[in-house]
């Protein structure tokens, strides 16, 4: 099932040379990956500030969009390959790999990526894919949890979410105390931070579809994470992106997987309900 | 020169009345040539992140989050421009996306090294306002 990833270095999104950015709306286009059509526009769930939820793909330059649409050109597929290797590697004192218990990820992880964060009755908190990996490593493998953004953590997360490619995002907010974490996440989303005094909604709601400098502002959806970014030439995890956006308000960055960012992940993921999982999406 | 010694109105002492700040924030006059530098500088005003200005077309990437500022001085008095730059929320309301450049009524959890500091100095605000005053229709 291994792929050879070609053109990993190709297609750095070309920026237009002109000073003025066009008042561009999201494109009217279809996204087909591996012969599967992705849901990139969906009717918003009840209580959502928008009528329609839209994938960040719709807001990117043509070259970036084309790179995501072609799995052989998508450099993020390297992380999927690395993740597959880790999946099958025995580690820890129990002498097991992920595959020892979960067998073929294409079957066992088929819908997992579309339904995280979930309620975790053991920690009495929401759990995301990264923390579920750590939970299995510690509890079931006798291995150490990963450090935040360790390449192995990002690759394995990318691999697991990629198994749900095309599946619509759907959270179970009725489970455990998910609803109160959702509420907290919503508060965080609208809370202004930093010297620049922005909330997430300043950029991804009030200014959605506009340009801030050269950046075409999307709805800030989570469905493509971890994403490949041309800017940094590597994979970006969701909490890394959250921290970057918060840093840009000139605020202190909350810790990855802190209660604050877990609540935000629950709420932001819900805001993309109905969009296909696109992992690994490609961004500039 | 001696401008650095000029008296300043502190950020929490700025008086807003009828969408205006009547008095200069310093006793040195604003300098439009310094103002345009602050205006385009990404670490200072970074005003082009959100606003287009046609006469600055040599600068790359003007955002369009906000209205173009060409002709701003024909729409607003100097005292109104000073209020908008010092704390836009006093003029446009709490919901505006525009940051307050000389205000301490800002967001939570401000980066530690910036606590208690406005984005621009009083003199930089006066310089930017002097530059805006040149943007006539």
ipTM of this predicted structure: 0.95
DSSP structural state of residue A138: I
Please give the backbone phi and psi of residue A193, each rounded to the nearest 5 degrees, phi first.
-130, 160
Say if residue A3's pLDDT is above 90: no
Domains recognised in chain B with CATH numbers: 26-77+116-132 (1.10.760.10)
CB pairs under 8 A between A and B: 89
pLDDT score, position A15: 34
Best of B61, B70, B112 to disrupt the A interface (most A CBs within 10 Å) is B61
The band of B121, judged by pLDDT with boundaries at 50, 70 and 90, is very high
DSSP structural state of residue A141: I
Contact in structure between A64 and A230 (CB atoms under 8 Å) = yes
Cα separation, A158 vs A160, in Å, equals 6
Cα separation, A75 vs B35, in Å, equals 44
Contact in structure between A273 and A42 (CB atoms under 8 Å) = yes
**Which residues 24-83 of B are in CB contact (within 8 Å) with A?**
46, 48-50, 52, 56-65
pLDDT score, position B137: 85
Contact in structure between A263 and A178 (CB atoms under 8 Å) = no
Domains recognised in chain A with CATH numbers: 51-91+111-284 (1.10.760.10)
**Which residues 57-96 of A are in CB contact (within 8 Å) with B?**
none
Q: Please indicate whether, in this complex, the C-beta atoms of B59 and A19 are within 8 angstroms of each other.
A: yes
pLDDT digits (tens, 9 = 90+) for B18-67: 999 999 999 999 999 999 999 999 999 999 999 999 999 999 999 999 99
Report CA-CA distances (Å) from B130 to A121, B73, B125: 60, 10, 9
Closest CA to A282 of A47, A64, A10: A64
pLDDT digits (tens, 9 = 90+) for A78-123: 999 999 999 999 999 999 999 999 999 999 999 999 999 999 999 9
Residues in B touching A193 (Cβ below 8 Å): 107-110
Report CA-CA distances (Å) from B107 to A143, B15, B82, B101: 41, 21, 21, 13
Report CA-CA distances (Å) from B58 to A19, A21, A211, B135: 7, 13, 18, 16
Tell me the DSSP string of B31-92. Answer: -HHHHHHHHH-TTTT-GGGT---GGGTTSS-B--SS---TTHHHHS-HHHHHHHHH-THHHH
Residue B127 DSSP SS3: helix
The band of B5, judged by pLDDT with boundaries at 50, 70 and 90, is low
Q: Is there a binding annotation on residue A102?
A: yes
Return the C-alpha torsion angle B126, B131, B133, B135, nearest 10. Answer: -160
Report CA-CA distances (Å) from A136 to A141, A170, B47: 6, 23, 48
Return the C-alpha torsion angle B14, B16, B22, B23, nearest 10. Answer: -10
Contact in structure between A45 and A267 (CB atoms under 8 Å) = no
Give catalytic status of residue A26 as yes or no.
no
Q: Is there a binding annotation on residue A213?
A: no
Q: What six digits make up the tokens of B37?
A: 């530098």
Closest CA to B40 of B57, B18, B16: B57
| Chain B contact present for A255, CB below 8 A | no
Cα separation, B82 vs B100, in Å, equals 11
Cα separation, A121 vs A172, in Å, equals 14
Cα separation, B34 vs A240, in Å, equals 37
Looking at the partner chain, which of B58, B63, B107 has a beta carbon nearest the beta carbon of A192?
B107
Q: For residue A230, give how far its alpha carbon lies from the nearest alpha carbon of chain B (Å).
A: 19
Q: What would the mean pLDDT of B122-136 be, rounded to a whole number?
A: 98
pLDDT score, position A273: 98
The band of A141, judged by pLDDT with boundaries at 50, 70 and 90, is very high
> Chain-wide mean pLDDT for chain B?
95
Q: For residue B117, give how far its alpha carbon lies from the nearest alpha carbon of chain A (Å).
A: 8
pLDDT digits (tens, 9 = 90+) for A190-249: 999 999 999 999 999 999 999 999 999 999 999 999 999 999 999 999 999 999 999 999
Q: For residue A151, give how far its alpha carbon lies from the nearest alpha carbon of chain B (Å).
A: 28
Q: What would the mean pLDDT of B73-93 be, rounded to a whole number?
A: 98
Residues in B touching A214 (Cβ below 8 Å): 60-61
Angle of the A178-190 helix axis to the A259-270 helix axis, nearest 10: 90
Which is catalytic among the residues A94, A143, A245, A256? Answer: A245
pLDDT digits (tens, 9 = 90+) for A8-32: 333 223 333 344 444 457 888 999 9
Q: Please indicate whether, in this complex, the C-beta atoms of A20 and B108 are within 8 angstroms of each other.
A: no
Sequence-ordered alpha helix ranges (H) in A113-177: 129-136, 151-162
pLDDT digits (tens, 9 = 90+) for A253-267: 999 999 999 999 999
- The strand ranges marked E within A147-257 are 211-212, 215-216, 227-229, 234-236
Say if residue A7's pLDDT is above 50: no
Whole-model pTM: value is: 0.94
Return the C-alpha torsion angle A102, A105, A109, A113, nearest 10. Answer: 130
Of the two residues A27 and A53, the one the predictor is more confident about is A53
The band of B7, judged by pLDDT with boundaries at 50, 70 and 90, is confident
| Chain B contact present for A201, CB below 8 A | no
Residue matched to tokens 């190709």:
A10
């Amino acid at each position: 099932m291994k792929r050879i990833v070609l053109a990993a270095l190709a297609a750095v999104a070309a920026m237009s040379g002109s000073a003025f950015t066009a008042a561009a709306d999201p494109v009217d286009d279809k996204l087909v990956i591996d012969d599967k059509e992705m849901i990139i526009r969906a009717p918003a769930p009840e209580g959502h500030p928008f009528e329609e939820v839209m994938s960040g793909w719709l807001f990117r330059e043509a070259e970036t969009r084309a790179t995501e649409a072609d799995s052989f050109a998508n450099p993020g597929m390297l992380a999927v390959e690395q993740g597959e290797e880790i999946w099958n590697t025995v580690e820890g004192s129990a002498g097991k790999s992920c595959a020892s218990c979960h067998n073929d990820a294409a079957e066992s992880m088929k819908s997992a990526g579309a339904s995280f964060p979930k309620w975790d009755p053991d920690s009495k908190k929401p759990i995301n894919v990264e923390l579920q990996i750590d939970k299995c490593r510690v509890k079931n493998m006798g291995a150490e949890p990963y450090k935040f953004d360790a390449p192995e953590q990002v690759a394995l997360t990318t691999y697991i979410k990629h198994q749900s490619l095309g599946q619509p995002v759907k959270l179970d907010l009725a489970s455990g105390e998910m609803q109160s974490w959702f509420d907290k996440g919503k508060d965080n989303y609208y809370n202004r931070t930093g010297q620049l005094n922005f909330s997430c909604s300043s950029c991804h709601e009030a200014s959605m579809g506009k340009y801030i400098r050269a950046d075409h502002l999307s709805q800030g959806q989570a469905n493509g994470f971890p994403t490949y970014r041309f800017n940094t030439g590597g994979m970006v995890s969701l909490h890394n992106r959250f921290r970057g956006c918060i840093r840009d308000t000139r605020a202190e960055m909350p810790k990855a997987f802190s209660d604050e960012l877990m609540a935000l992940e629950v709420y932001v993921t819900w805001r993309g309900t109905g969009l296909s999982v696109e992992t690994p999406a490609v961004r500039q | 020169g001696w401008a650095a010694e000029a008296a300043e109105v502190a950020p929490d002492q700025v008086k807003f009345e009828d969408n205006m700040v009547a008095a200069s924030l310093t006793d040195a006059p604003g300098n439009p040539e310094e103002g345009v530098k602050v205006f385009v500088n990404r670490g200072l005003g970074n005003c082009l992140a959100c606003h287009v200005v046609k006469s600055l077309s040599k600068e790359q990437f003007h955002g369009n989050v906000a209205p173009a500022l060409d002709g701003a001085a024909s729409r607003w008095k100097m005292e109104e421009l000073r209020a908008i730059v010092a704390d836009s929320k006093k003029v446009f309301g709490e919901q505006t996306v525009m940051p307050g450049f000389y205000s301490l009524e800002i967001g939570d959890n401000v980066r530690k090294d910036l606590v208690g500091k406005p984005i621009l100095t009083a003199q930089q605000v006066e310089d930017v306002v002097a530059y805006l005053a040149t943007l006539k229709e």
